Amino acid sequence: MKTAEDYQNGQILLIDKPLHWSSFQAVNKLKYALINKLRLPKKFKIGHAGTLDPLATGLLLVCTGKFTKRITELQGQAKEYTGTFYIGATTPSYDLETEIDQTFPTVHIDEALIHETVKQFLGEIDQKPPIYSAIKKDGVRLYEHARAGEIIEIASRKTTIHEFEITKIALPIIDFRVVCSKGTYIRSLAYDFGKAMHSGSHLTALRRTKIGDYDVNNGVDVVQFEASLTEST
C-alpha cells in the first residue's frame, strides 16, 4: 500500500476516466481523496498529462508530487484511441455535444471508398481544431466564441496519424482505431473523414486506450482508486 510520502515523491496513476466526467473533475476527485485519506497538504501537486473530453472515456495519466515535472514529457507521447464515426451527418462540435446541423448523401459510400479514404489521413496532415475546443484565440477559449455564435477563423496545424484502422463497417456506423501524435483532435478527424468521402461525419464514441506504453487495461476507475486508499491516522 502506497504512503503519503510515496505520492509526494511522485506517482503516475493510470485512471480509466468515466463518461461525462471532465479531466479536471477526475483530477480534483483524486486530489481530495489523497488529501482527506492520507493527510497530504492542501497544496499537494497533482495534474494530468493530456485532457480527455467529457464525452470520451479511457486512459488519463495523472502525475502526483515530484512527477508533475514529467507531465510535458508524457503529453508528447503517441496516443491510441478507438471509437465510432456516424456517416452522413455533421454537428457543430463534430461530436454529440451539439445537435446534427446538416445531413449528406451516403449512397455512394462503400467499403472500398472507406478504406481508400483512410490512406489520405496517414502520416503528417493539416488539421483544424474544432470550434468547440478549449484552445484560446485572442485570450478567449474557442468554445466560448462558438457558444456566443461568433464566427472565428481557426488556423490549421500539423499533426501525425501513425496508424488508422477501420475495425467495423455497419453504415452509417464505422468503428476505428487510431494512433496519433500529441494535439490530434479525433473529432476533427471524424469531420474531415466524412468530407473526404463527399459526405459528412461526426464522432459518436471515443475511448483513449494507450499513451506511449501505458495501457488503459492497467487503469482503475476514480471511485475504485478512492476506495483503495487506507486512511492515515
Q: List residues with catalytic annotation.
A: 53
Q: Residue written as cell 485570450?
A: 139
Q: What is the three-class DSSP state of 223?
A: helix
The kind and range of the H/E element at 214 are: strand 214-215
DSSP letter at 232 equals P
Q: 169 exposed, middle or buried (CB, 10 Å; 0-12, 13-18, 19+)?
A: middle
Count of CB atoms situated within 10 Å of the CB of 112: 8
Taking Cα atoms as reference points, which of 209, 197, 189, 208 lies closest to residue 85? 189
Alpha carbons 178 and 63: distance in angstroms, whole number: 25
